[in-house]
Amino acid sequence: MSKSTTQWGKNKKKPKKGYLHLVHHLSIIYFIYP
């Protein structure tokens, strides 16, 4: 259970960073092309 929770935490952290990166790129695109 502890191992599964650690793996889930790692998997949750990675997509969150990728999501923020995606939002950053989208915000730039929307800023340039409103």
pLDDT of residue 1: 46
If one counts the domains in the chain, the total is 1
- Predicted TM-score (pTM) above 0.85: no
For 2-31, the pLDDT digits (tens) are: 555 555 555 555 556 777 777 887 887 777
Range of the domain at 20: 1-34
pLDDT of residue 10: 58
pLDDT of residue 26: 80
Give the C-alpha separation, 22 to 29, whole Å: 11
Give the C-alpha separation, 23 to 29, whole Å: 10
Residue 14 to residues 4, 6, 18, 32, Cα–Cα distance (Å):
16, 13, 6, 28
